[in-house]
Amino acid sequence: MKDAVAQFPSASNLALAARREIIGMTSAAKASHVASALSVIDILSVLYTGAANISPANKERENRDIVILSKGHAASALYSVLALQGFFPTEWLNKYCQNNSPLGGHVTFKGVPGVELSTGSLGHGLPYGLGIAMARKLTGIQGRVFVIMSDGECDEGTTWESAMIANHHKLDNLVIIVDRNRIQSLTFTEDTLKLEPFADKWKAFGWETRTIDGHDHISIERAVTKSNLPVCIIAETTKGKGIDFMENSVLWHYKSPSDIDVKNALSQLENNRDA
């Protein structure tokens, strides 16, 4: 465990290892949201391998970068990355969702090193992150705030209230990354409540908007460079990314992988790695 960082020096190795953990965790716990976790895992892997200034060594420091996973249902993704990067023992992942486990089905902060905010009810992470960014501006504390949201989450009014406030107060230390996988709870986002023209909306609210491939690690790393405006990165992603039978399917927002699913999924990850 102590060699976790050395063992997984690159974002791509971390993402691969985390994908394995996510599949194992959601299967063992009979938990939902495996596809949501696979969708966001590349973003988290890039942030936690250096794109964000956050590590087990500086996690208590006042000027660290803050990462908030507002789409708290992708908890297995955040927990995997934190464990693999050495914030807490990887053995904890085996107890995901079990009685008295610190790791709940939605992101839980208490007793989990590296977690900044308990989430699970959508639309909370951005106002909270906005508050931290605002306090830092007012008191001259460095360090940026990254809030990772789901696209469906942008239905919440707090998103657009926050968008106005961040612009008004010129919070250039605030970065949103929207996991734009285009699927929400019951169906596709554009069939539920149209978000498009999504980037234009953020621009109109005064944000610098960067649209990228949310699975391309180099693009993600480039997209989080600083700006003099609040930044919204629209990360175009595929729900269930990496496991063909989970990709782009509403079913896998809920379904927990069976033993056969796990076997197939892990062999796919292995084959793609070799390819």
- Contact residues for other proteins, defined by CB under 8 A: 62, 109, 116-118, 121, 123-124, 126-136, 138-139, 141, 157-158, 161-162, 164-165, 168
Residue 190: other Cβ atoms inside 10 A: 13
Of 105 and 240, CB closest to other proteins:
105
Residue 4: other Cβ atoms inside 10 A: 17
How far lies 180's CA from each of 116, 243, 260, in Å? 23, 18, 29
Side-chain half-sphere of 104: how many Cα atoms within 13 Å?
14
For residue 132, the minimal CB distance to other proteins (Å) is 4
Of 24 and 123, CB closest to other proteins:
123
Of 35 and 103, CB closest to other proteins:
103
For residue 108, the minimal CB distance to other proteins (Å) is 9
DSSP-based three-state secondary structure for 41: helix
Of 104 and 242, CB closest to other proteins:
104
Of 167 and 192, CB closest to other proteins:
167
Burial class (CB in 10 A: 0-12, 13-18, 19+), 208: middle
How does strand 66-69 pair with strand 145-150? parallel
Q: How far apart are CA 158 and CA 95, in angstroms?
A: 33
For residue 147, the minimal CB distance to other proteins (Å) is 10
For residue 166, the minimal CB distance to other proteins (Å) is 10
Side-chain half-sphere of 181: how many Cα atoms within 13 Å?
33
For residue 56, the minimal CB distance to other proteins (Å) is 20
